[in-house]
A and B are shown apart, each in its own frame.
Chain A
């Protein structure tokens, strides 16, 4: 295993989603692919967890009660400028999508997710 493989394998991913099923199922897939994964159930907890976890990738639901995904990403990105944000949404509002992209998300994935697309994004992060 050379250095680049090592870097890919140790990539740290923080999943923030208020739906337990989405969180856990994504965590299972990503851990199965060798990533280090942490989960949080809302924006506030995500920001707290992010500070100690130092994620490389943030996978965050846009619409959540309290601090939403866009704000969560903005906050964590301020502390970790290298953070790659991937937003997820079950809504189809192009306004929110634009807001997420403007906020620095590399992509906004519609739910249900196309996992192949997600894996490509995570690998290239």
Chain B
């Protein structure tokens, strides 16, 4: 029997191993020129044999990433080291037909004929990413189901004492002449506080049950003005109304008003309660849009994609359901709700779309 170490030096054997590998294997030189691509790599990227050898590895990088890929490569060649596949890195590659797909890649510096080369092992990560997404969705659903059970119990337990507090405040208010101005002020404060607590409980319940959807025709003006009245904005916040507020939309007024209340209140709070909230209205093909723009510092970039997640909040006092509920209501009404930052830190913008009424 032959010495196993001498077998490894057998270049035919090595080639067989490379060709049999289920992983896409690509070897490039120091300039990123492909010197070897195994059959799995060709299949992964949709190329025929020998189509890849001699071309730049940049060809396999999504077009949007190509301008920066060159510098990544140069940096790697300055400090070549084994880089294992790592979940969470979320890399993408581009096939010959231009389609982009997720990949897992490990990099290994090697020597071939005395020259420094890089071996890249490439695996299609579509299934892994999908499985991860499904797991995350499942976990979110479980979290929600648990929250629903909790919310139902909490709502009852909190609403009952709130009921007693409000009843007693009502009774005391009947004795206005004995309470005096300060006393009456206290009663008002109690009622405001009960209202706030009630709102939190309702928000929790709104989120955990499927709301009934009862659409009617309403003007955006009706909905927006009613929301503004319900919030009771401080004098330091003003509303700049732009566009055609008389547009007629078909929505469940309670739900869309709740959305507008959440958005306008958030906008006011994002400016620390002083500034101008722009309420810009218009129409697209068969939808109306309402853009709520604040003059605050805008959202952190990593927060923009997360603001609609349940229980995500940047406010010290928020429980993080307002925007999650709002998005659900928007979608329930056949619309959308999206968030973005204006350029140059000019504030955040929330954009709600809802169906236009057929009566126009």
Contacts and interface: CB of A to CB of B under 8 A. Distances in A.
Interface of A: 19, 21-22, 25-26, 28-29, 32, 63, 88, 90-92, 94, 110-113, 115
B163 A112 contact: yes
Given A22-B167, A25-B164, A25-B171, 10 more contacts: A19-B163, A19-B164, A21-B163, A29-B167, A29-B174, A90-B160, A92-B209, A111-B162, A112-B167, A113-B167
A64 to B, nearest CB: 11
Interface string B146-170: 0000001001100111111111101
Given A92-B205, A94-B212, A112-B162, A25 B156 contact: no
Contacts of B162: 111-112
A92 B155 contact: yes
Q: By CB atoms of chain B within 10 A, which of A25, A94, A112 has the most? A: A112
Nearest to B197: A112
Contacts of A92: 155, 202, 205, 209
Interface string B186-218: 000000001000100010010001001000000
B205 A25 contact: no
A83 B205 CA distance: 32
A25 B168 contact: yes
Contacts of A90: 155-156, 159-160, 163
B166 A113 contact: yes
B243 to A, nearest CB: 35
B156 A115 contact: no
B198 to A, nearest CB: 6
Contact of A113 (B152, B163, B212): B163
A21 B156 CA distance: 14
29 contacts: A19-B164, A21-B160, A21-B164, A22-B160, A22-B167, A25-B167, A25-B168, A25-B171, A26-B167, A28-B167, A28-B168, A29-B167, A29-B171, A63-B156, A88-B163, A90-B156, A90-B160, A90-B163, A92-B202, A94-B212, A111-B160, A111-B163, A112-B162, A112-B167, A112-B198, A113-B166, A113-B167, A115-B167, A115-B170
A66 to B, nearest CB: 17
A113 B155 CA distance: 14
B2 to A, nearest CB: 78
Contacts of B171: 25, 28-29, 32
Contacts of A63: 156
Contacts of B155: 90-92
B195 to A, nearest CB: 9
Contacts of A32: 171, 174
B276 to A, nearest CB: 34
Q: By CB atoms of chain B within 10 A, which of A22, A26, A88, A92 has the most? A: A92
A115 B171 CA distance: 10
Contacts of B160: 19, 21-22, 90, 111
A25 B163 CA distance: 9
A52 to B, nearest CB: 26
A19 B212 CA distance: 30
A101 to B, nearest CB: 15
B166 to A, nearest CB: 4
Nearest to B208: A92
Nearest to A88: B163
A22 B168 CA distance: 9
A26 B162 CA distance: 13
A95 to B, nearest CB: 11
B156 A112 contact: no
A6 to B, nearest CB: 22
A91 B161 CA distance: 13
Interface in B114-165: 152, 155-156, 159-165
B11 to A, nearest CB: 74
Rank and list the top 10 A-B pairs by shortest CB-CB distance, nearest first.
A25-B167, A21-B164, A90-B159, A111-B163, A112-B163, A112-B162, A112-B166, A90-B156, A115-B170, A111-B159
Contacts of A110: 159
Contact of B165 (A88, A94, A112): A112
Given A90-B155, A92-B155, A112-B194, A22 B170 contact: no
